[in-house]
Amino acid sequence: MHLNDLLQYNDIVIQCHDNPDADALSSGYALYWYLMEQGKSPRFIYRGHNKISKNNLLIMLDKLKVPVSYEPDFSEIPELLVTVDCQYGQQNVTRTQAKNIAVIDHHQITEDLPTLSEVRSNIGCCATVMWDMIREEGMSVDDNVLLSTAMYYGLYTDTNKLSEVSHPLDRDMRDLLVTNKSIIMEMVNSNISLDELKITGKAIFDYQYNEDGKYIVIKAEQCDPTILGVISDFSLETVGVNVCLAYYVSPLEIKFSVRSCVKEVHANELAAFLADGIGGGGGHITKGGGAIRPEKLVKLYDAKEEDVEELAQEEFAKRLNEYFSMYRIIYANETTLDTSDMKVYEKLPQQLGCVRLTDVFPVDTMVEIRTLEGDINIKLEEDKYLMIGIAGEVYPITKEKLTRSYRYIDEPYDKTFEYEPCIRDVFTGEKKNVLRYARSVMSTGNVRIYARPIDEYVKLFTAWDEEKYYSGSPGDYVAVREDDPHDIYIINSQLFDKLYREVQE
């Protein structure tokens, strides 16, 4: 769905979920602004039994001029109802009758969606979905600082103080929005009530510790999600604790926060693993989190709704034990693989992209390369290049290895991907699209690799980045260059046959 699909209607009501949070308010605010800019006169409402009372949200409504009204007894039947940050029919949104329904959301899909819907479950907050949809219409919220500040705060709160930001669009919005920092600070410092402070202390006293995995699990009472981050951050400072999981259970979601202080456990990966199939999770290497849908957990166990707290405890314990026992860790700089049982492969002729990084920014510039897989920070040198794979994945390469492995071809590089890699100057914030500087290259076949499928889960620290690992699953390939025993890497099983062919000796 595109936002301009909504313009065929005149009587439009925007509804966010009951007990709205900052993300629901900001995404509804953004849609309200867009429709007003298009000459419409929408109404923005929320319903339910409770009027907004949290101090940070009251500040948000007042200082940022959020045009929402509390309508618990709303009985009109508008031409179009748009639910934001929720899905029509879910338990957390009072059902409002309408002639037509539209949905804009970022949560896991739990209801049958109407034709007019845009649900991006891999995005950190609904405000980001709205921000990107507005950009797709050729518009920008930059001139509306109050709205921009609201959208930033929506992202801030829905991703646990930005610690769970994982999708590059979330990171782009975070970096590009023009905000009123003083209002943000006022809201941030009005977020925890005295009752929630008590919840924090009570939760920390009741913990479970696993000595083998050096992780701690803490269950809290239902609270503002940011409280989980406070609990996790504090607990991670404990001697002998490398990883912390804090969570609460509510009728609508099981919210959790993950922290890690060791490079062998990426918090975003663990968060995604904990929620796989029953919710969603992500974040940064050291800070992550997510949410699980209670109804999916109940269905997984074929249990009753009233058992969800016990189910959550059991499922977290099972998945943590599985995660900490399933991986083999390889440090490429310290490892030489036995290639006697590995076959020899060469790259198939495949048009790939190559960027000379000093064409984008000057030598010695510290840059952040933003991709769907995450951010890579490097200092630009004369011999640093960037390869762009067939799925849009990027990885640094030296000029010497590039020359041995590839040759330039006289064809334009015009590939499109879900998210186009970007480079940002860390100090100035200037951002440039990588694909504008890409040239087409073809494998020379001069460099061969040894490779074999793996039958276990692997975390690989490459020779060029000893702080971040690449994960491999059974069926993926572990490979090593024939001319460099420490250039070890993981190749996704779905890509391997498209990239390599076996060498017949």
Distance CA 257, CA 374 (A): 19
- Angle between the 126-136 and 145-158 helix axes, to the nearest 10 degrees? 140
Residue 373, pLDDT score: 63
Distance CA 472, CA 456 (A): 8
Residue ranges and CATH numbers for the domains of the chain are 3-188 (3.90.1640.10), 194-325 (3.10.310.30), 335-502 (no CATH)
Closest to 426 measured CA to CA, from 470, 477, 364 = 364
- Is 222:231 a contact under the CB 8 Å cutoff? no
Classified as helix, coil or strand, 370 is strand
Closest to 428 measured CA to CA, from 476, 365, 483, 481 = 365
Query: Looking at 8-66, which runs of residues are DSSP E strands?
Result: 12-16, 43-46
Distance CA 375, CA 421 (A): 10
CA 144 to chain centre: 26
Residue 107 tokens read as: 């949560």
Distance CA 178, CA 181 (A): 9
Q: What is the DSSP string of 441-460?
A: EEE-S--EEEEEE-SSEEEE
Amino acid in the structure at residue 98? A
Closest to 234 measured CA to CA, from 205, 266, 267 = 205
* 378 beta partners: 367
Residue 414 tokens read as: 């015009």
Task: Please state whether the predicted TM-score (pTM) of the whole model is above 0.85.
Answer: no
Distance CA 313, CA 157 (A): 25
Q: What is the DSSP letter of 474?
A: B
Distance CA 482, CA 41 (A): 66
Residue 343, pLDDT score: 92
Report in angstroms the alpha-carbon separations of 467 from 202, 304, 421.
Answer: 35, 43, 21
Residue 428 tokens read as: 């100035």
pLDDT tens, the chain, 505 aa long: 999 999 999 999 999 998 898 999 999 999 999 999 999 999 999 998 889 988 899 999 999 999 999 999 999 999 999 999 988 987 778 999 999 999 999 887 767 899 999 999 878 899 999 999 999 999 999 999 999 999 999 999 888 788 777 788 998 999 899 999 999 999 988 877 777 778 888 888 889 999 999 999 999 998 877 788 888 888 888 999 999 999 999 888 899 999 999 989 988 889 889 999 998 887 777 888 888 989 999 999 998 888 999 999 999 999 999 999 999 998 988 889 999 989 999 888 888 899 999 999 999 898 888 877 667 778 888 988 988 888 787 888 888 888 888 889 988 888 888 778 888 888 887 888 888 899 999 887 677 899 999 999 999 888 877 777 888 899 999 999 888 898 898 998 988 988 888 888 6
Residue 159, pLDDT score: 84
Residue 122, pLDDT score: 79
- Diameter of the chain measured on Cα atoms: 78
Classified as helix, coil or strand, 122 is coil
Report in angstroms the alpha-carbon separations of 218 from 199, 306, 325.
Answer: 12, 21, 21
Phi, psi of 333 (to 5 degrees): -65, -20
Q: What is the DSSP letter of 311?
A: H
Phi, psi of 480 (to 5 degrees): -140, 135
